[in-house]
Structure 1
Amino acid sequence: MKKLIKLIGLTAILTASLAQTVAADVNIYFTRHGKTMFNNVHRAQGWSDTPLTKPGIEVAEQLGRGLKDVDFISVYSSDSGRARQTARIVLESKGETKLNINEMEGLRETCFGDFEGDLDPNMWNPAAQHLGYESDKALMADLAKGKVTLKKMMDAIKAVEKSGQAEDYNAVKTRMQASLKAIAKSAQEQGGGNVLVVSHGMAIMAMVEEMLDRPITSGLGNASVTKIRYTDDGKFIVESLGDMSYVEKGKASK
């Protein structure tokens, strides 16, 4: 009888431990902000900031509706206005009223230094030429073919930027991954669950590029979702990159 009681007790402990292990998994939904004024007029927008356009607001609303069935335990955004605005709209559109938005500097977009606010070609053409391309179009064509890495492109911007303020790939990757780890561990301490993070396209790509088993061949769409699972043994697994299905679901639900 005593052996049976011990066996039952051991089974209960193992079951509870297994439940805690499963619960400790964290699903992080990284999304890019909605379309902004600078996106619309094709100007470099890193640490500089402009508000969402009408289509940018609409796509954030669509994302919120598409995420309606996903329960989040916490929400984060960069301290840029466009990310904060997107996070607020997503929460409102999915009917979430209890969660506060936690801002983190580490989630900012890449700093482009004296290219900030300039026309995109005025940044990308010098970067392309630094890498031996005739133009930004030729550079982007090779990106689409997987012949040039995001790292090389970001480091080229850093190399040709004159003020010394632009960030290179490693700088962005390091702070983004540090933010990712802090967010994941905080959620894990709460028992696991889903976390929403609103950040920026190039920064998200720099964060995950080395986690992927394939090259990144295009930018991330506004309000796209990059889903990362943080396991109980401390591993990050990228489950999707630039997923627009939540936006499409939100469009269909209106």
Structure 2
Amino acid sequence: MVKTLYLMRHGQTLFNKLQKIQGICDSPLTAKGIADTKKVGKYFQREHIKFDHAYSSTQERACDTLELVTKQPYQRLKGLKEWNFGLFEGEDQFINPKYDVKIGSVGDAFVPYGGDSADAVQKRMVEVLTDLMNRKDNQQILAVGHGASIYLFLKNWIPLDEIVKHVEMKNCSVLKFTFSDNKFHYNETINVVD
């Protein structure tokens, strides 16, 4: 049986607006983040998209996003948290390690500074989302998480050049996947806000 995952990035936060590195550190949703998140909720209502269950990262910006999108109960999961950027947390984005185009990430660059490796984050995301989709009563679910960890999850299922050419993942983007035989199949990115 084919199941469906709607994987949403949280709304714009203060650190997004200020271009600060935001992984395990948190900042509140901006007025734009709140308004955009409500637009996504209205989109789901308009399209008659309902969820068996909803899940969020334990971080406040993701929980707040989910609560603005739907009023249904949800479960917070540490496995959906953002990448830990170690000592880079809260710093200006321009000091981020150099992106390696060959591997499509910064790899282990944050590890010497107390952060996670890209592979560890990707493995965690694949495991938690696979577990959720394998639950008997989960046919169509919503999960709210974070840009970098969602990107690494997506990179596990489609080639990097496809992501670069076809996937624009802004705040409040929703990636739709189908799931069968323990594999995720990327369908589309839903962007209802500017």
**Partner deviation per Cα, 1:102-139 (whole Å, 9 max, x = no partner):** 111010110000000011112x2xx22xxxxxxxxxx5
Q: Does 2:23 match 1:46?
A: yes
Paired residue type of 2:104: L
Q: State yes or no: 1:182 paired with 2:131.
A: yes
Q: Which has the larger radius of gyration?
A: 1
The 8 Å contact of residues 82 and 149 in structure 2, kept in 1 or not, is answered as: yes
Q: 1:83 to 1:62 in 2, by over 3 A?
A: same
The equivalent of 1:30 in structure 2 is: 7
Q: Which residue of structure 1 aligns with residue 63 of structure 2?
A: 84
- Displacement after TM superposition at 1:243 (Å): 2.6
- Aligned-pair identity in percent equals 28
Native 8 Å contact 2:14 2:29 kept in 1: yes
- Alignment match, 2:186: 238
* RMSD after superposition: 1.9
Q: Which has the higher helix share?
A: 1
Normalising by structure 2, report the TM-score: 0.90
Alignment-mate amino acid for residue 181 of structure 1: T
> How many Å apart are 1:238 and its aligned residue?
1.2
How many Å separate the matches in 2 of 1:202 and 1:214? 14
Q: Provide the residue aligned with 1:8 in structure 2.
A: none
Partner of 2:119: 170
Contact 2:122 2:156 in 1 (8 A): no
Q: What is the TM-score with the length of structure 1 in the denominator?
A: 0.69
Q: Report the 3-state secondary structure (helix = DSSP H, G, I; strand = E; otherwise coil) of the residue aligned with 1:72.
A: coil
The answer as to 2:166 corresponding to 1:193 is no
Q: Distance in 2 between matches of 1:154 and 1:236?
A: 23
How many angstroms does 1:182 deviate by? 1.2
What corresponds to 1:150 in structure 2? Answer: 104
What is the aligned residue count? Answer: 189
The residue that corresponds to 1:75 in the other structure is 54
